Structure 1
């Protein structure tokens, strides 16, 4: 049944914006360690000298700093394992509120590390914050997609990436020496994520729980009706959407275990799609550029930290472009454009890096290519990789699908953050050829396997795959797979 067009209400917008405050925190602690890296490495060295009267070797310091940066992503990988349990037992909104405490505790540990002269506390704080990242970057799109109308689902889910990119830019700005990235103030810089964390505690409790969770998971139709009415503000729209949710509930079982998730025929293709799209997105170079852009630019420019701000600005700009294009161009087209542009940029970056020592003026082209790679990533692979699983799986499988997606995303980030510096030292610019290959794989797989989900209800999308379980497809012809 086609659902009526729905205009966003104040309650819906507040709910979405309150949820993405968590993504803002994640982005902030992704971008704020880039510019002041040398200052924080100096803190590590001074701490070791105070304790043992000796400094850390350059090689060991590089590995220790790589661990400090990547431990957040490793924590996020672990945190992803808890998404299903929290989302199904506490609900989508309440889970976001509960995991927010990990952000608060992690930030506090990072802040006090300087006062107690213990870099281990900073690493532990980033690990705890990483647990928060793995949970909230799945719970946020899960909640946003389930409270949003079908016509705005992809665009609103993209706001999660907009907030993430905005947080990265804010982190980059705060990390500058002219702001808070100094020997005296870097601990204050790490504390600023507490502001959106506390704001979320003040706003989100007044937002409705996911109506789909209330009806399909909990069987509470009256509460689902009340939540939908707050979110939509139109009784006719509410009745139509309730009927759609009841239709989905009739086709699904209340809960799915991990074993059932892996064995269910209708989940097999979505699992493979999520696997390839997410790994291609996260291993295609974006995360290396975001974490180490200052290092990349230092070979050609003295003020590399300010060029890094350009990376952050381009990052935010093109997430906003994706927000406006998501419901017009569709997921599939934006992914294809993004992957092929990333592959081309990576190839050209290899060429530029190989001749940079002969033609230093090529440094400007290198910066331009980095900006283009960032743009291509945020146009499609970046935002879509975070919420695609939420569209491909039905209600019982959605939390596990989002957890699986989050594990792939954070696992890819962890691998790149940990290995990019030593691999770059080992093979230089040829590292970008590896990124090119992965982007090409993502393009090819998207072209042949990914159906378009734009404008389709959750039940219509699930029906495309339900035939794999030999169940009747009531509206088989209405699903336009490859437009």
Structure 2
């Protein structure tokens, strides 16, 4: 514990907190659309009346609102697929810096949509801010995972999810009608996402670039060493450099890994399937159905003041992210057939959110970065992000229609999916705590040896990488 504590330097704290401002915006833009739903729908109706001199049809309103919610995921889906290329071209830090331009554009479009009487601007703004969040959802955990010491990687990785749920809670609170959630101020609520944008742009120049990126991708050992010294607070960084040199040596022995090759190569097929399914487990849990539509869900369940119940879910979300551990959960089903069940509905959703945040909430985002070494990591993060955002879009777009057809039993669908993900995680997902990237990769490269064998070897001081085991003396002196 003392060793870990000594490694937490001011530069490391600044860099991690600056990076996760992008995650805060991600969460804010997930939650901001929830509370003012009815008010924005009224604005859509007023715009329709202004254009066509008749009220908007219910089906058109449902479609426009679902699109306003779900097109956020389309933007994220497309940009996350490009994340690998952008992060290699610009570097992790510069990519986060330039990505903020999308946040400015998206916030401006959403904030001006009421003044311009244009729900198209609102939808386009949601798409643009979604594109920003798609890049941030990959860049932030990649950067944090690469600058964090091995012993702190898991703990610092959870800050990405903590920032997301904090952003959701901030949006829910500011969405109160007594604050910014009324018919006049909701454009301010939508445009407020520029605040963390400005803060991140001001702080990023003081943060070092990822030493792993500088050394392994750009071959700039001097700059990588300088970054390591700032992050660790030590002049002697030979151990960290040795680990990166070993990783680079193994990368140089392999061909460059493309996205199709992740699926074709037996070395990467299993980890990429795990990465995809972990991302799907996060979204197909149904949690974003709650964050997107909880106000209307609580309203239908008979809760008198649904916005406060929504904020309660956000508080539970944050609290359980702080105590996040590796576990999966069972989704709760609620029914509003009797008045007293409205309270059961609230407890069920609070419980679901709590268990989500000790399982698939924080884990998938940084787990992907741990499964892959520097070479295939950008492509793997792009695939994982694309999978996450695709599932996010499906939930955001089609949940209202499925819920209308199946009523409260819609959550049984999520329960069945979660049971599958629980079984898969238990049997197929390896433990990565305290292991280097090479040690994690070796557990997939050696089908004849179990993860337990590798853990025992590390405890005994034996080598744990694939090439070492292929040596003539089997790594034994």
Distance 1:90 1:199 in 2: 20
Q: Which residue of 2 aligns with 1:208?
A: 208
**How is 1:227-238 mapped onto 2 (pairs within 5 angstroms)?**
227-236=227-236, 238=237
Unaligned runs of 5+ in 2: 465-477
- Residue 8 of structure 1 aligns to a residue whose secondary structure is coil
Deviation at 1:48, TM superposition (A): 1.2
Q: Which residue of 1 aligns with 2:104?
A: 104
Deviation at 1:117, TM superposition (A): 1.0
Q: Which residue of 1 aligns with 2:276?
A: 275
**How is 1:57-96 mapped onto 2 (pairs within 5 angstroms)?**
57-96=57-96
Contact 2:259 2:380 in 1 (8 A): no
**How is 1:111-190 mapped onto 2 (pairs within 5 angstroms)?**
111-190=111-190
Instruction: Map Cα deviations across residues 213-265 of structure 1 (whole Å, 9 max, x no partner).
Output: 011111111111000000001234x2111111111111113842223333222
**How is 1:49-64 mapped onto 2 (pairs within 5 angstroms)?**
49-64=49-64
**How is 1:220-259 mapped onto 2 (pairs within 5 angstroms)?**
220-236=220-236, 238-253=237-252, 255-259=256-260
Counterparts in 2 of 1:416 and 1:479: CA distance versus 1, 3 Å? farther
Moved more, 187-196 or 457-466: 457-466
Instruction: Map Cα deviations across residues 411-452 of structure 1 (whole Å, 9 max, x no partner).
Output: 111111111111111011221111001111111001111110
Q: Which residue of 2 aligns with 1:478?
A: 457
The structure that is helix-richer by fraction is 1
Distance 1:316 1:168 in 2: 9
**How is 1:79-478 mapped onto 2 (pairs within 5 angstroms)?**
79-236=79-236, 238-253=237-252, 255-299=256-300, 300-322=302-324, 325=325, 334=326, 337-338=327-328, 341=329, 343=330, 345-346=331-332, 349=333, 352-353=334-335, 356-357=336-337, 359-467=338-446, 477-478=456-457
Contact 1:15 1:208 in 2 (8 A): yes
Distance 2:120 2:392 in 1: 21
Instruction: Map Cα deviations across residues 278-322 of structure 1 (whole Å, 9 max, x no partner).
Output: 212210111111111111111311211111000111111111111
- Residue 54 of structure 1 aligns to a residue whose secondary structure is coil
Distance 1:176 1:65 in 2: 19
- Residue 360 of structure 1 aligns to a residue whose secondary structure is coil
RMSD: 1.9
Instruction: Map Cα deviations across residues 347-406 of structure 1 (whole Å, 9 max, x no partner).
Output: xx1xx41xx32x321211111110011011111201111111101011111111111111
Deviation at 1:119, TM superposition (A): 0.9
State the TM-score, normalizing by the size of structure 2.
0.91
Contact 2:285 2:415 in 1 (8 A): yes
State the TM-score, normalizing by the size of structure 1.
0.90
- Residue 102 of structure 1 aligns to a residue whose secondary structure is helix
Distance 1:364 1:478 in 2: 52
Unaligned runs of 5+ in 1: 326-333
Deviation at 1:43, TM superposition (A): 0.7
Deviation at 1:460, TM superposition (A): 1.2
Question: How many positions carry a matched residue from both structures?
Answer: 451
Instruction: Map Cα deviations across residues 85-105 of structure 1 (whole Å, 9 max, x no partner).
Output: 111111111111111110111
Contact 1:282 1:409 in 2 (8 A): yes
Deviation at 1:271, TM superposition (A): 1.0
Contact 1:266 1:469 in 2 (8 A): no
